[in-house]
Amino acid sequence: MTTSRADLHIHTCYSDGWPRPPAVVEHVRAQGQLDLIAIADHDTIEGALRAADYAAGREGSPEVIVAEEVSSRDGHILGLFLQKRIRPGMSAAATVEAVHQQGGLAIAAHPFWRTEGQPGSKVQGVGWKAGAVDFDGIEVENATPGLYLFNQMAHRLCEETWLAELGNSDAHILDAIGWAHTRFPGRGAAALRGAILQRQTRADRIRYDAKGLMRYAAWGIDYRHQKRVAESS
């Protein structure tokens, strides 16, 4: 059976990523290693809509899934196959329900990575509540440098919950796209949806590229600087 590859967690300039949506599509098309991508900016689907529109009219472009990384008050949740934006700030359970009401799929993103909440606070991560929330899958491989231990914990959570495993880059720069990805049988978004629901996905990752790591470090410096400026204004 044909196997495809997808990266379902990519950021653009519509949240905290560097690349514009068309640049993401062109990069993936030029690389030729991914069949599907999902633009999942923080708390918006604008970048995903623009990437999908751009890819639709260009031969050889990857299929683009409209997604969002929703900031629930319990941690970050990937909503896939969305029609409209999911409101941030709800509980994990309410966020997942809102995704499902649109016919989307809800994925626990980097479930044990503590994320930023209100200024000066940290959110523990949705992994600690996964047993009580109706997730469709677990992001067990997140390619952000430094997340090895958190990924191992996510693998264990996936084994205990019997949910689909996914690998995603969580890329904020072009170089990082595809560093982790999801393999699934078949072709296209419908096949991916079915593979997630039937737990037929496999998470995979590739070795970091030294140049890409340097650019990621530059992004991190810029991100922290922009955050300090925003907090002081």
For 9, 45, 149, 232, the CA distances from 113, given in Å and listed in that order, are 15, 23, 10, 26
Rounded Cα distance between 63 and 149, Å, is 32
pLDDT at residue number 42: 97
**Measured on CA atoms in the order 83, 188, 22, 210, is the torsion positive or negative?**
positive
pLDDT for the residue 45: 98
Can you list the pairs that 148-154 forms with residues at least 24 positions away whose Cβ atoms lie under 8 Å? Answer: 150/110, 150/111, 150/112, 150/113, 153/111, 153/112, 153/127, 154/108, 154/110, 154/111, 154/112, 154/127
Stretch 29-50: mean pLDDT: 97
Looking up tokens 């008050």 gives: 73
Residue 102: strand, helix, or coil: coil
pLDDT band per the 50, 70, 90 thresholds, residue 117:
low
- What pLDDT sits at residue 155? 97
| Type of residue numbered 90 | M
The mean pLDDT of 175-185, rounded to a whole number, is: 97
Q: What is the mean pLDDT of residues 17-26?
A: 97
Residue 215 has pLDDT above 80, yes or no: yes
Residues 51 and 21: beta-carbon distance below 8 Å: yes
pLDDT on residue 207: 85
* Mean pLDDT value across residues 56-70: 95
Q: For residue 143, what pLDDT is reported?
A: 96
Read off the pLDDT of each residue in 8-33 and give the average, rounded to a whole number: 97
* Contact (CB, 8 A) for 80 and 100: no
CA angle 182, 157, 153 (to 5 degrees): 85
When pLDDT is cut at 50, 70 and 90, the band that residue 121 belongs to is low
Look at 115-119, 147-151, 154-158, 209-213 and tell me which has the smallest mean pLDDT: 115-119
